[in-house]
Structure 1
Amino acid sequence: MLPKVNQMLHYQIASSDESEAALEYKSRIADEEGEAFLIEYPLSEKTGRLKRMFLGDELSVFFVSSDGVKHYFDSHVLGFKEDGLLRLVKIMKPDPERMTKVQRRSFLRMPAALDLAVKLSNHERFVCQTDDVGGGGISFICEGKWNLRVESQVDCWLLIPYKNGTIDHAPFQGEVVRINELETGRKQVMMKFVMINDSERGKIIRYCFEKQLEYRNR
């Protein structure tokens, strides 16, 4: 399903500046025109300030439907239009086949080898790589020597590279739900998030969405 006129869009704007790329904005769909939506100038959800946009700006967008489901898509700025005293931004409508929806308790999961720092309850630390990541949890591969058990809770820091070249990180607390002993002597650890901010979860979901679009475009 596509968003409708008067619906609120939430998004991040691609930037080589890491702090700028992490900012979240929102704006209302004022009208539609062929293959484009006409949206009001974006407002920063953090500062309350308007954001100037430029032709070609890439956007990572989501909107929430009436049943509480988040729908994600990528877009870009096509141009601008004056509507009386209001200046509108023209952005590309999404291809419905390339949109991703995320239920409240069901998150997209993607295979990914991302750097992960782990701190155990006994203060031991190690760095490993993820096997897959998603908005509800991750799995990772580590050396067999680390003292991990089902229901162990650990503090983690995940490094997230985006397609625009920026790198972000997401701290969270996870709980081990399953461990597979591999033939190599290493462990595959499945973990769910038990403490993570919505903004940090959003970073992971954005990465998964970008990877899904990348796979579809191959």
Structure 2
Amino acid sequence: MYPKINDVLYIQLDTGDEKEAKIVYKSRISDMDDESMYMEVPLQEGTGRLKKLFIGDELSAYFLSEGGVKNYFNSYVLSHHEDIIRLVRIKKPDPDQITKVQRRSFLRVQAELEVAVIAKDGTQFLTKTDDVGGGGVSFHLKPGQSISEGSLLTCWVLIPYKNGAVEHVPFEGEVVRVKQLPTNRSIVMLKFNHIVDMERQKLIRYCFERQFDFRNR
């Protein structure tokens, strides 16, 4: 499902600048063809400042459809286009590259991914996830390690995709439960307190890939 003409796009830039990556811009779809979307020059939410985009800039975007569902996709700037107003031409994603997510029901999948954990007291360690999703992750604790419910953690998780690409996804989360296992280990269940939408999209994309694998076994 593609956005319609005049639909609003919410955009974040895929940049190494952490501060810039958190900024949300708004634009509006002006036109589409088989390969491209044409959008108005984006405005920064809150300030209304225009954002100049350059050819090749990578971005993460979403638009809202019926029921408040967010439809995420990644794209990049192809060119600029002069019409009645100045437009930005971006790559039109394939339909299967658009993921629909309703925040109340994030997909969650079993996955053993490498995750780095840093607690507020400076404790840090590497471990493996038990499952991941758009709303949070669970990870294993080794015997002797302990984390309290309610703790705030800074983490990143390593996401490998089927095409060979690898992404590091940073986030901050709160421990909602620590589940003890018979093996003297435990599982920490974490919900996201702060994660940039662009980073959440990377996790969502991985979950959809995993779900597709499970269905085809």
TM bucket normalised to smaller: 0.7 to 0.9
- Following superposition, the deviation at residue 27 of structure 1 comes to 0.5
Contact 2:127 2:141 in 1 (8 A): yes
CA distance in 1, matches of 2:95, 2:116: 32
Distance in structure 1 (CA, Å) of the matches to 2:74 and 2:4: 16
Q: 1:213 offset after TM fit, Å?
A: 8.1
- 1:208 aligned residue: 203
Q: What per-residue deviation string (whole Å, max 9, x for no partner) do you get for residues 58-79 of structure 1?
A: 1111111121111111111121
- How many residue pairs align between the two structures? 204
Contact 1:176 1:192 in 2 (8 A): yes
Answer whether contact 1:78 1:92 (CA < 8 A) is retained.
yes
List gaps (5 residues or longer) in structure 1.
none
Aligned to 1:31, the other structure's residue is in SS state strand
Question: Aligned runs of 1:78-93 on 2, under 5 Å?
Answer: 78-84=78-84, 86-93=85-92
| Whole-Å separation in 2 of the counterparts to 1:168 and 1:148 | 21
Contact 1:128 1:141 in 2 (8 A): no
The 4+ residue runs of structure 1 with deviation greater than 3 A are 108-111, 123-126, 146-149, 160-169, 177-182, 209-216
1:156 aligns with 2:157: no
Gap runs ≥5 in structure 2: 213-217
Residue equivalent to 1:37: 37
Is the deviation greater in 4-13 or in 42-51?
A: 42-51
**2:37 partner SS:** strand
The residue that corresponds to 2:94 in the other structure is: 95
User: Given the superposition, is the C-alpha separation of residues 104 and 209 from structure 1 closer, same or farther in structure 2, using an over 3 Å criterion?
Assistant: closer
Residue 215 of structure 2 is matched in structure 1 by none
Letter in 2 for 1:127: F
1:107-126 residue pairs with structure 2 within 5 A? 107-109=106-108, 111=111, 112-118=113-119, 125-126=123-124
Q: TM-score, normalised by structure 1?
A: 0.77
Please list the CA deviations of residues 36-87 of structure 1 after superposition, one character each: whole Å capped at 9, or x if unmatched: 1110011122543211111121111111112111111111112111112x10
- TM-score (normalised: structure 2): 0.77
In 1, Cα distance between equivalents of 2:11 and 2:208? 16
Q: Against the structure 1 CA distance between its residues 48 and 109, is the aligned structure 2 distance closer, same or farther, given a 3 Å change threshold?
A: farther
**Residue 2 (str. 1) matches residue 8 (str. 2):** no
CA separation of 1:155 and 1:147: change in aligned 2, threshold 3 A: same
Pairing of 1:58-77 with structure 2 (within 5 A) = 58-77=58-77
* Residue range with higher mean Cα deviation, 125-134 or 11-20: 125-134
- Is the 8 Å Cα contact of residues 116 and 124 (structure 2) preserved in structure 1? no
1:139 is matched with 138
Q: Deviations over 1:91-128 (max 9, x none)?
A: 12221112211112111346331212235xxx694433
Equivalent AA in structure 1 for residue 153 of structure 2:
C
SS at match of 2:177: strand
Taking only aligned residues, the RMSD between alpha carbons, in angstroms, comes to 3.1
Aligned counterparts of 1:58 and 1:117: Cα–Cα separation in 2:
29
**19-28 or 34-43, larger mean C-alpha shift:** 19-28
